[in-house]
Amino acid sequence: MSRTIDWDGDAVVIVDQCALPTTYRTLRLATIDELVDAIKRLAVRGAPALGAAGALGVAMSARLHLGTADTTEVTGTTRATDAVGADAERLANARPTAVNLRWGVERALAALPRGAEAVTAAALAMLTEDERINKQASRNAADLVLRHCSRRPLRLLTHCNTGRLAAVDWGTALGVVRQLHAAGQVEYVLADETRPLLQGSRLTAWELEQEAVPYRLLPDSAAAAAMSMGMVDCVVVGADRVAANGDVANKIGTYALAVAAARHHIPFFVVAPQSTVDLSLPDGSHIVLEQRPAEEVTHVDGRRVAPEGARVFNPAFDVTPAELVTAVVTERGVLQVTS
């Protein structure tokens, strides 16, 4: 598998996550409209991958508006830099919850005074950095899991998709699974299907197949039962934004998992790059939670399964309070341990 998101010299290339698991294909996105649309449709998704998408989007915009002439002077007209700024805002606002998207946009924008080539170089450096950082965060978390959980081999439960497909490469929580599996420490992974868009069954199961990690898919609603039956040693998830007090926004259903894990005294680990931590927000109540279209709930595979006129509550994310999180682990180490 190639990188989830990359640059071909002129355009952004992504693995099309809407087509998996039946079809593995890449999409070439040559305009900001195409990239914003891909972000909104979740063809590219997952917090670290969104950071890369934001940065590459700014690089593409800078090249389109400023050209790529080599210059060390301030490049382009005010109108051109304004146009890049407008594209950057559209990209950063394409999805509101994962802080990495705006973080990626802003890091790339910081290079704009040095010209489009400098923006491109900054974005490409972020892609390389992403893999290194997530590997380090996974190693840190794998060590912590092994220290916390005595049973061998381990039975881990995860939610959504936090693997290579959610990052440039490698992944976060699923990166931990890969680390532990390589060390022969995994009996199986329980992968929540992750309603309504099925990132668990479509993407995580696909990745676990690729890596030959033993796994079982389960409906999200079966996770608490699996815990009560003694089938889970720990829960490992990713994050879209971590507030300064350690509250964690992640895929809808994460909070319910944390409540159930606490009920059963099962450690609950969050693994994310430091770029997911947003110290500007004192706690999770300030995190904007994306609301998704009603059709994601009223329809399955394009077929209506709810009555006409059914009203829907479809938040893409929820907030897990810090008190339910055993540890948030980044590439720098353990951010916070509450138990």
Cα–Cα distance for residue pair 302/295, rounded to 1 Å:
8
Q: Is 199 in the site for ligand MRU (CB under 6 A)?
A: yes
User: 3-state class of 55 per DSSP?
Assistant: helix
Nearest residue to 273 (alpha-carbon basis) of 1, 43, 44, 46: 46
Shortest Å distance, C-beta 9 to ligand MRU: 27
Closest CB 77 distance from ligand MRU, rounded Å: 36
The interface region with ligand MRU, picked from 77-85, 114-122, 139-147, 235-243 by CB under 6 A, is 235-243
Q: How far is the CB of 174 from ligand MRU (least distance, A)?
A: 8
Q: How many residues does the chain have?
A: 339
Asked if residue 199 belongs to a known ligand binding site, the reply is yes
Q: Does the annotation flag 25 for ligand binding?
A: no
316 near ligand MRU, judged by CB under 6 A: yes
Site size for ligand MRU, by CB under 6 A?
Answer: 19
Task: Report d(CA 232, CA 244) in Å as an integer.
Answer: 29
Residues 6-45 that bind ligand MRU (CB under 6 A): 42, 45
One-letter identity of residue 56: L
Judged by CB under 6 A, the stretch of 21-29, 66-74, 85-93, 236-244 that binds ligand MRU is 236-244
Known binder of ligand: residue 57?
Answer: no
Residue 40, annotated as binding a ligand: no
DSSP 148: H
Nearest CA-CA partner of 241 in 62, 46, 55: 46
Q: How far is the CB of 324 from ligand MRU (least distance, A)?
A: 16
Tokens of 191: 């992968």
Helix (H, G, I), strand (E, B) or coil at 63: helix
Stretch that binds ligand MRU, among 69-77, 81-89, 166-174, 307-315 (CB under 6 A): 166-174
**Which listed residue (80, 166, 324, 325) binds ligand MRU by CB under 6 A?**
166
Report the C-alpha gap between 123 and 52 in whole angstroms. 7
Instruction: Give the SS3 label for residue 249.
Output: strand
Catalytic pick from 6, 240, 247, 318? 240
How do 5-7 and 12-15 pair as beta strands?
Answer: antiparallel
76 annotated among ligand-binding-site residues: no
Task: Judge whether 251 is annotated as a binding position.
Answer: yes
Q: Is 192 in the site for ligand MRU (CB under 6 A)?
A: no
Report whether 202 belongs to an annotated binding site: no
Closest distance between ligand MRU and the C-beta of residue 167, in Å?
6
- The pattern of x and - marking residues 247 through 276 that bind ligand MRU according to CB under 6 A reads ---xx-------------------------
Q: Report in angstroms the alpha-carbon separations of 86 from 57, 69, 105, 162, 272.
A: 12, 22, 11, 30, 29
- Provide the 10 A C-beta neighbour count for residue 31: 15
User: Is residue 87 among the annotated active site residues?
Assistant: no
Of residues 76 and 321, the one with the C-beta less far from ligand MRU: 321
Does residue 164 bind ligand MRU (CB under 6 A)?
no
CA 264 to chain centre: 27
Helices (H) and strands (E) in the chain, counts: 11, 16
User: Which residue has the CB atom at the shortest distance from ligand MRU?
Assistant: 238
Q: Pick from 27, 53, 98, 223 the residue near ligand MRU by CB under 6 A.
A: 98
- The values of phi and psi at residue 3, to 5°, are -55, 150
Report residue 52 CA to chain centroid gap. 11
DSSP 8-36: -SSSEEEE-TTTTTT---EEEE-SHHHHH
Using CB under 6 A, list all residues that contact ligand MRU: 42, 45-48, 98, 160, 162, 166-167, 171-172, 199, 238-240, 250-251, 316
Binding site: residue ranges? 45-47, 95, 199, 250-251
Q: Which residues are marked as active site?
A: 240
Binding site for substrate: residue ranges? 45-47, 95, 199, 250-251
